[in-house]
A and B are shown apart, each in its own frame.
Chain A
């Protein structure tokens, strides 16, 4: 059996040597420079034309978007209170209050369903709306948070990049936000103003403001109210209706 030893030894040396060096090389390769670091992906290339050219609509139309829905519950406001339900109820009530002023209103979400940011933006952009109000709610902070897009303003062109379509409307969005701010201040509801990057707001081809409703913290002039308080909600909705009414007057005077 001596020759089998030779065969085995031969096979062993043949089989062992190259993989060994490979194995060492491999072990070196797996030593990462610091840690396994996935590089951030390249920014998406936004060059999709906006579906609607930003024409001035002949009719004053308001789009209401009740944020979240379906399995996207949004913020948990209280044990049995979810943001998606508050936004839906506020949107439905604002629809009837604004409609009562003879203003055309479109709601993007009418029941508990998960809509993508893209489908919300598509639905809103088809309308050439004079105002797009995105309704949110949170358990953090106090009063109402008004947010407009943090995109830098750009002139409106026929084809706006889809992801930054709002940039053409930022100046108008800021005016709409200040209209809502005045109406809420008139109702003595504390307001904070901010800029942010939020979907689908950055893709909206209309003056757009995100209205985030927070509970009322106790202050020098206010007593604490939970978000679920009916009178508090009513005063916010009244102020929003007044602001939209005022916005319609401004809009009529535009050339």
Chain B
């Protein structure tokens, strides 16, 4: 038999649980608001600092399987990851131009808003070499949007050219980047659009794609 006191205690605990849940939800909302405010304010602060910088883009040409250097002047943020992101968005934007030699509609089609092809670019320090010497290079992890991967033409040549132009453009402007990995929507994927291998690490120290896994 449950005593009256136990029943009251149970009711008390139940009320406490409900109040606690309400407080938790409110706290979570506030934390999210703060996080959101932080995220939206950071790029604005960066944009103020951005100064026009001469950059080299490696533009692919499907007709002869080549990469052509193209000089541009871009406002680049100070932060290295943000610089890499702006560089690559500009590169992929050039693929959408009407005169493009490597046409890719990209996220949202040919008239899309900027900045939807690559979700993020992360830069990570490389592990020490086997002999213990510090490795000054960095690995760039390029996270494509699903929309970009879906709009990418399928074929060994178009896919390989996209990867090589990204790797080459990163290394040409940020020489510290010596390795590149690719993700789609935050996840590892077998191929970009059915061909070029996205499971491996690409070496950026040379213009070709040679390297180990």
Contact = CB atoms under 8 A, between A and B. Distances in A.
A27 B65 CA distance: 51
B24 A150 contact: no
A37 B28 CA distance: 21
A145 interface: yes
B35 A147 contact: no
Interface in B151-167: 153-158, 160
Interface residues of A, number: 59
Given A7-B12, A46-B213, A74 B200 contact: no
Interface string A1-40: 0001001101110111001100110011011001111101
B120 A35 contact: yes
Contacts of A197: 196-197, 200, 202, 209
A145 B157 contact: yes
A194 interface: yes
B24 A19 contact: yes
A83 B154 contact: yes
B1 interface: no
Interface stretch (A120-128, A136-144, A234-242): A136-144
Contact of A141 (B5, B13, B65, B197): B65
A16 to B, nearest CB: 6
Interface in B187-213: 187-188, 190-191, 194-197, 199-202, 208-213
A210 B156 contact: yes
Contacts of B181: 40
Contacts of A142: 62-63
Nearest to B34: A31
Interface string B122-158: 1000000000000000000100000000000111111
21 contacts: A7-B12, A8-B16, A11-B13, A12-B12, A15-B16, A15-B17, A20-B23, A23-B27, A34-B81, A35-B120, A43-B201, A44-B213, A76-B154, A141-B155, A147-B160, A150-B211, A192-B65, A197-B196, A198-B197, A210-B156, A214-B157
Given A7-B9, A35-B120, A150-B211, 7 more contacts: A8-B15, A20-B20, A24-B27, A34-B81, A152-B211, A194-B157, A196-B196
